[in-house]
Structure 1
Amino acid sequence: MNEIPIGAIRPNPGQPRKQFHEKALAELSNSLKRHGMIQPIVVRPREGFYEIVAGERRYQAAKQAGFSRVPVLIIEANETRVMELALIENIQRADLSAIEEAMAYAEMLKEFNVTQAELANRVGKSRSHITNSLRLLQLPVDVQQAVMEERLSMGHARALLALKNPLKIERMAERVMRENWTVRRLEQELREKKQARPVTVKPTELDFIEEALRDRIGATVRIKTTKQAGKLEIDFIDEDDLNRILELLLPEEHE
């Protein structure tokens, strides 16, 4: 472990965490003043400076506390490893909002050409968790921002996805925040709206099948019937998600 001037350190532009809450940062800053920095900031050498790999909250808090030098652990790491370590640290500390976590997953999938299964293995999450997290990026930008600012929870966000129409999602999100609804209250409202639609009520057996399929494959499933025929619809995010669903439905074909 080394100690270097804080001015020689720069944040990682690819840091998954986009926002730092001022109150929590102030509390950490006060703690550093009283007890010092016990855990070093992880950095990697760059031309003329050191770039943060993990520990940006400690770096920001140390600046607030007026530290001139800070303890660091210097490592060699490529871009993939830097993003991986930053993401894992934030997830382990529960520092990321649901949207920030989803954005980080999307960036890793795009930049480093890994599959959802490979990414899940790297960050210690299930593939269904990665898939469900990425679905949050289908929300309108304003709603994503509300989740990042903790005006809406991840539970609210997942429930809102059922509306599908962006304008309806935005309007419902505004009502949730205005009236301070719990997730349960939102889900109740969505159920009531669904029941109020002038559509043919599906038999209980089809409802059961639809729910069982949804739980099995981790995707939105709809069964539609008419007097003559029927239709099964399954939503997927991208080709990788489609392959995941096909592996579950047709395991013999993917062995």
Structure 2
Amino acid sequence: MSEDTSRNRLGRGLAALIGDIDRPAPTQAPVPTADRTVPVEFISPNPRNPRRTFADAELEDLSASLKQHGIVQPVVVRPSKTAPGRYEIIAGERRWRAAQRAGLTNIPVIIRDVDDRMALELAIVENVQRADLNPVEEALGYQQLIDEHEYVQSDLAQIIGKSRSHVANTLRLLKLPQNIRDMLVDGSLSAGHARTLVTAEDPTTLAQKIIRDGLSVRQAEALAQKGADKPASASAKHVPDEKDADTRALEQLLSNVIGLNVTVNHREKGGEVRISYKTLEQLDDLCRRLQR
């Protein structure tokens, strides 16, 4: 995917495609108008939806609300490729599931005729903006766009409105063993804690200690560096000058791109980025890159 193509596609604006249907709206903003109503049995979930977990309690609460008020925000769908007259969900699967529990026979929909790539992109954006994805689902969604549609991390950062370091750090969670991912999914571990485990010698033991002792992210980082089998010292509770996992990941990302050692020193107000070179040839190459 070329840079110009990416810019043109992104420049159209996601709001134009989904009509701001799932973003928090101002109090007096009009509700998006549905294109039509469709029987619930004519709608199928998207098997590629990045969201895999639907809490039963949340569905029950939403179902009770739908019984009283109906569906306010239409579900976004696209025409099925294989079954004429049927539709596949792009955004709003939770509402569709709750509507079935509530006994609704028809639901309002907004129809968008988009390809697989855009459908997946819209599903990820909607879920990330609503904070509906757990960290593992978010990472898997990003990886799916990279593997199947040749996205790069800078594209993803633009699409979802996050920093490139956020995308890189989220993707790093996929390096964790499955038992650690399960802890992320059920909420036992936060994404910040999980990032400290990516380079730990024994991530499972450290994860269990984090949960058992209620360690902060900084304490977990200190333990990951010293080894999960060593007890946390008093100094580990206060590591004011220790770089967090995000900063270290950013340093690694910049070092990989430039080919030179990069250090980032962030302070309360401002900071510095330092690039180290060993030869004049490396310096000349860096200057040429910056001039371009």
- Please confirm whether the aligned pair reaches a TM-score higher than 0.5, indicating the same fold: yes
Match of 1:253 in 2: 289
Deviates more, 1:39-48 or 1:168-177: 168-177
Match of 2:39 in 1: 5
Report the Cα offset of residue 67 of structure 1: 1.0
Matched, 1:143 2:196: no
Structure 1 segments unaligned to the other structure (5+ residues): 198-207, 220-233
DSSP 3-state at the match of 1:72: strand
How far apart, in 1, do the equivalents of 2:105 and 2:153 lie? 42
Matched, 1:65 2:102: yes
DSSP 3-state at the match of 2:198: helix
Match of 1:243 in 2: 257
How far apart, in 2, do the equivalents of 1:143 and 1:114 lie? 27
Report the Cα offset of residue 149 of structure 1: 1.5
What TM-score do the two structures reach when normalised by structure 2? 0.67
Matched, 1:95 2:127: no
Report the Cα offset of residue 97 of structure 1: 0.5
One-letter amino acid of the structure 2 residue matched with residue 96 of structure 1: L
Deviation track 1:71-116 (CA, whole Å, cap 9, x = no partner) reads 1111111011100110000001000011111111011011101211
How far apart, in 1, do the equivalents of 2:52 and 2:258 lie? 30
Match of 1:39 in 2: 73
Identity %: 37
1:241/1:7 Cα in 2 relative to 1: closer, same or farther (>3 Å)?
farther
How far apart, in 1, do the equivalents of 2:138 and 2:49 lie? 11
Aligned match of 1:181 in 214, 217, 220? 214
How far apart, in 1, do the equivalents of 2:247 and 2:165 lie? 10
Matched, 1:110 2:144: no
How far apart, in 2, do the equivalents of 1:30 and 1:180 lie? 38
One-letter amino acid of the structure 1 residue matched with residue 68 of structure 2: R
One-letter amino acid of the structure 1 residue matched with residue 163 of structure 2: S
DSSP 3-state at the match of 1:218: helix
Deviation track 1:42-88 (CA, whole Å, cap 9, x = no partner) reads 00011231000000110111111111111111111101110011000
Deviation track 1:187-229 (CA, whole Å, cap 9, x = no partner) reads 46446648969xxxxxxxxxx7x959x838614xxxxxxxxxx
How far apart, in 1, do the equivalents of 2:248 and 2:205 lie? 31
How far apart, in 2, do the equivalents of 1:118 and 1:169 lie? 31
How far apart, in 1, do the equivalents of 2:162 and 2:220 lie? 27
Conserved 8 A contact 1:117-1:127: yes
Deviates more, 1:184-193 or 1:150-159: 184-193
How far apart, in 1, do the equivalents of 2:249 and 2:51 lie? 30
Aligned match of 2:247 in 207, 211, 215? 215
How far apart, in 1, do the equivalents of 2:258 and 2:150 lie? 16
Number of residues of Structure 1 aligned to a counterpart in Structure 2: 221
How far apart, in 2, do the equivalents of 1:217 and 1:17 lie? 26
What TM-score do the two structures reach when normalised by structure 1? 0.76
1:67/1:159 Cα in 2 relative to 1: closer, same or farther (>3 Å)?
same
Structure 2 segments unaligned to the other structure (5+ residues): 1-33, 232-240, 263-274, 276-285
Report the Cα offset of residue 152 of structure 1: 1.4
How far apart, in 1, do the equivalents of 2:248 and 2:191 lie? 21
Match of 1:21 in 2: 55
One-letter amino acid of the structure 2 residue matched with residue 27 of structure 1: D
How far apart, in 1, do the equivalents of 2:95 and 2:213 lie? 33
Matched, 1:74 2:74: no
How far apart, in 2, do the equivalents of 1:18 and 1:28 lie? 17
Cα-Cα RMSD: 3.0
Match of 2:30 in 1: none
